[in-house]
Amino acid sequence: MKRVITTLAILLVVIVAGMTALVLLVNPNDFRSYMVKQVEQRSGYRLEVSDDLRWHVWPKLSILAGRMSLTAPGASQPLVTAENMRLDVNLWPLLSHQLSVSQVMLSNAVVRATPESEPQQPQNAPIAPGRSDAAAPASGWSFDISQLRVANSLLIWRQPGGEEYNFRNLNLNLNQDERHLANIELSTSLTRNQRNATLSLKGQLDAAQYPQRLSGKIDELTYALSGANIPPQGIKGSLSAQGSWRADTQQFTLSQMQLSANDSALTGEATGSLTPPQQLALQLHATQLNFDNLMANAPQIRNSGEQHATVARAPVIATPRVQNNVDSPLNDMNLAVNLKADSAVWRGLSLRDFALDVTSQQGLITLRVLNGKLGDGDFSAPGTVDIRQPETRVALQPVLNHVAIQPLLAAFDMPQTMQGAVSLNGDLSGEGLTLEAAKRHWRGEAQLNASDVRLAQINLQQMVRRAVERASDRVSSDESSEQGIRQLGGTLALNNGELRFSDLKGEGDRLKLQGGGEVNIPTQQLDVTFGLTLTGWKGDDRLVTLLSQQAIPLRMYGSWNNVQYSLPVDEVLRQQLQSEAKSRLNEWLDRQPKNSDKESLRKLLRP
């Protein structure tokens, strides 16, 4: 045991003595020119180290440097600048004239991915043949790096002609082997236009063909979004995929994508190019897609006992920045999205077999396919959205087939006072893409057909029957087992918030109606008049004939939250009695001899 302890002590003394001799006898500044030359020979990049290099022996043997920068050939700004750099070196290779760096660590670095930091080819410069790695100098030194670590740093990213994005709190760990296969861990955050984004990534990278080509796998990318125009609960999710990148064409591909966003899950693939105008094509499929959890102003039901919806809004911290179409990245790119969802939720509506096929050509968006199933019916809304101007312009051709009316009213924040099913074929256009903009700034017409229409707390047949019975006891009618309107058709015209009904015609059990009117959506006022004709009367023959042929006007007006009704049955009956009295007086006058009094009385009886 004593011999073992003695051996270990001698070994420790030798190691300490060796490291002490290394620190005293080897000046790390001797490596400065060698590292600069090696970096330039192998990559063409220019490395600058401002301060003196010094040894650091615990917990790892390291070379510490102060401010450094790395600049691409011909670039006007450095690709990387850092306040501190640490090189962790391996001891035994160092003793045999090999500078083997196990890790490079940069702290408080600024990484620029901008046009000014990219390599620039001098004008009229000859194109060199494919470059191979420079051979080691005659002194026998060799140089290799296996791990890179960046901590508490900043990434500045900007495409030519685009806006600048600052990714803060950048932390990167990259470990590569001799085949240039690397494991990557990255985390960063982005704040822009009162929105916050954080992300964390783990994956693998194959840099064997760098810089011509990169490929790799994203094991897990987690992200979180919050702030202005983001749902109050934020958007959180993850992404995994396999990808590749080609430098000559600036093209990338993502395959085997699995994306989650709150309670939505999608799979698919993506291809694109960063060459202006940027290109992006997405093929996606979702088993469940909840748009309401991805929109800032989605309606939320207060509780199960209430029928109307409210809009959840984030608390106001500061005056939000005014957004316009200039801020949209779609103006600088071409986009193609093909999305299919087994089920989806939009403004509380449960959709099935939802399909979206949309293209965008630098701001001109074409909705080639936008359809799905809703309840027992289906819908489609092809059209265009133009965001190339400061004001968004929309043109849609909505088609509804046998869609339930009440859920539609709830989705559009209108009183749920009507039940039934509606079919519609329309042509709409206007300014703005929000629900509020549609209510105020859209125009167009639509042909309407509805079935089994019922008004909340209103039985039209019963209302007319009771009003007639109160006005006269000469007629009566049996109770009808059917309520509401069996079929209703007409024309709708929307003009900047004013919804006008015309040529409305319908029928129900013993009921016919026709009429029209208007609804002012912004002020929530309505004024609609129906002419109601009810059959099935019994009693006085003349009154029965009159009521079976005469339309009784029903007027609904006022605020749609407190509708007023007018049903002047007594006026109709009074007019009938007056007409009957005049008819009998005229018959009596016809039997009287002619005189001046007779003619005067006849003039009074004229309408």
Amino acid at 190: L
pLDDT at residue 26 in the model: 58
Question: How many CA atoms lie within 13 Å of 46's alpha carbon, on the beta-carbon side?
Answer: 13
Q: For 330-354, how does the pLDDT look when each residue is reduced to its tens digit (9 = 90+)?
A: 888 899 999 999 999 999 999 999 9
Q: Which residue has the higher pLDDT, 207 or 605?
A: 207
Q: Which helix (H) or strand (E) holds 386?
A: strand 383-386
Q: Which residue has the higher pLDDT, 364 or 118?
A: 364
C-alpha to C-alpha distances, 247 to 43, 210, 243, 503, 518, nearest whole angstrom: 16, 9, 14, 64, 61
The pairs formed by 580-583 with CB atoms below 8 angstroms and a separation of 24 or more are 580/542
Q: How far apart are CA 471 and CA 570, in angstroms?
A: 5
Q: How far apart are CA 77 and CA 69, in angstroms?
A: 10
pLDDT at residue 401 in the model: 97
**What confidence category does residue 22 fall into, taking pLDDT thresholds of 50, 70 and 90?**
low
Q: For 237-247, how does the pLDDT look when each residue is reduced to its tens digit (9 = 90+)?
A: 999 999 999 98
pLDDT at residue 220 in the model: 93
Lowest-confidence segment of 198-212, 251-265, 331-345, 464-478 by average pLDDT: 464-478
Q: Which residues, other chains included, contact 315 with Cβ-Cβ below 8 Å and sequence gap of 6+? A: none
Q: Report helix, strand or coil for 236.
A: strand
Q: How far apart are CA 481 and CA 536, in angstroms?
A: 13
pLDDT at residue 317 in the model: 44
Query: Highest mean pLDDT range out of 499-503, 564-568, 581-585?
Result: 499-503
Q: Is the pLDDT confidence value at 5 over 70?
A: no
Widest CA span of the chain, in angstroms? 159
pLDDT at residue 559 in the model: 92
pLDDT at residue 279 in the model: 93
pLDDT at residue 308 in the model: 40
Q: Is the pLDDT confidence value at 564 over 50?
A: yes
Q: What is the mean pLDDT of residues 399-409?
A: 95
Q: What is the mean pLDDT of residues 185-194?
A: 91
DSSP H helices, 74-163, are 91-95
pLDDT at residue 264 in the model: 95
Residue with tokens 């039901």, as numbered in its chain:
301
Q: Which residue has the higher pLDDT, 570 or 467?
A: 467
Q: Which residues, other chains included, contact 122 with Cβ-Cβ below 8 Å and sequence gap of 6+? A: 74
Q: Is the pLDDT confidence value at 135 over 50?
A: no
Amino acid at 304: S
**What confidence category does residue 288 fall into, taking pLDDT thresholds of 50, 70 and 90?**
very high
Query: Which is nearest to 107 in space by CA: 125, 86, 130?
Result: 86
Q: How far apart are CA 337 and CA 436, in angstroms?
A: 26
Pairing between strand 377-380 and 399-404?
A: antiparallel
Strands, E, within 99-250: which ranges? 99-113, 143-145, 147-157, 165-176, 181-192, 195-206, 213-227, 235-246
pLDDT at residue 318 in the model: 46
Q: Which residues, other chains included, contact 23 with Cβ-Cβ below 8 Å and sequence gap of 6+? A: 55, 57
274 class by beta-carbon count within 10 Å (0-12 exposed, 13-18 middle, 19+ buried): middle
pLDDT at residue 366 in the model: 96
pLDDT at residue 358 in the model: 96
Q: Which helix (H) or strand (E) holds 588?
A: helix 569-590
Q: How far apart are CA 430 and CA 444, in angstroms?
A: 9
Q: For 416-470, how does the pLDDT look when each residue is reduced to its tens digit (9 = 90+)?
A: 888 999 999 999 999 998 889 999 999 999 999 999 998 877 888 888 888 887 8
- Using H for helix, E for strand and C for coil, what is the string for 438-494? HHHHEEEEEEEEEEEEEECCECHHHHHHHHHHHHCCCEEECCCCCCCEEEEEEEEEE
Q: Is the pLDDT confidence value at 110 over 50?
A: yes
Q: Which helix (H) or strand (E) holds 23?
A: helix 2-25
**What confidence category does residue 141 fall into, taking pLDDT thresholds of 50, 70 and 90?**
very low
Q: How far apart are CA 506 and CA 484, in angstroms?
A: 10
Query: Which is nearest to 196 in space by CA: 154, 167, 222, 162?
Result: 167
Amino acid at 517: G
pLDDT at residue 439 in the model: 92
Pairing between strand 99-113 and 143-145?
A: parallel
Q: Which two tokens stand for residue 86?
A: 């640490």
Q: For 51-85, how does the pLDDT look when each residue is reduced to its tens digit (9 = 90+)?
A: 777 776 666 667 777 788 889 888 889 999 988 88
Q: Which residue has the higher pLDDT, 504 or 137?
A: 504
Query: Which is nearest to 100 in space by CA: 43, 145, 36, 136?
Result: 145
Q: Is the pLDDT confidence value at 302 over 50?
A: no
Q: Which residue has the higher pLDDT, 315 or 381?
A: 381
Q: Is the pLDDT confidence value at 507 over 80?
A: yes
pLDDT at residue 303 in the model: 42
Q: Is the pLDDT confidence value at 277 over 90?
A: no
Query: Which is nearest to 221 in space by CA: 238, 203, 241?
Result: 238
Residue with tokens 């049903």, as numbered in its chain:
567
Q: Say what angle helices 569-590 and 460-471 make with each other, to 10 degrees.
A: 50
Q: Which residue has the higher pLDDT, 281 or 94?
A: 281
Q: Give the DSSP per-residue string, 35-60.
A: HHHHHHHHHSPEEEE-SPPEEE-SSS
Q: Phi and psi (nearest 5°) for 20?
A: -65, -45
Percent of the chain past pLDDT 90, that is, above it, reads: 41
Q: How far apart are CA 216 and CA 175, in angstroms?
A: 14
Q: How far apart are CA 375 and CA 407, in angstroms?
A: 10
pTM score of the predicted model: 0.76
Contact 186, 201 (CB under 8 A): yes
Q: Report helix, strand or coil for 431.
A: strand
Q: How far apart are CA 26 and CA 49, in angstroms?
A: 18
**What confidence category does residue 320 fall into, taking pLDDT thresholds of 50, 70 and 90?**
very low
117 class by beta-carbon count within 10 Å (0-12 exposed, 13-18 middle, 19+ buried): buried
Q: What is the mean pLDDT of residues 587-601?
A: 60
pLDDT at residue 604 in the model: 54
pLDDT at residue 304 in the model: 37
Q: State the average pLDDT for the chain.
A: 81
Query: What distance, in Å, lies between the first and last C-alpha atoms of the chain?
Result: 135
Q: Say what angle helices 596-605 and 569-590 make with each other, to 10 degrees.
A: 160
Q: Is the pLDDT confidence value at 312 over 80?
A: no
C-alpha to C-alpha distances, 264 to 235, 258, 356, 412, 501, nearest whole angstrom: 10, 11, 16, 23, 39
The total of other beta-carbon atoms located within 10 Å of residue 464's CB is 21
Q: Which helix (H) or strand (E) holds 12?
A: helix 2-25
Q: Which residue has the higher pLDDT, 461 or 169?
A: 169
Q: Is the pLDDT confidence value at 375 over 70?
A: yes
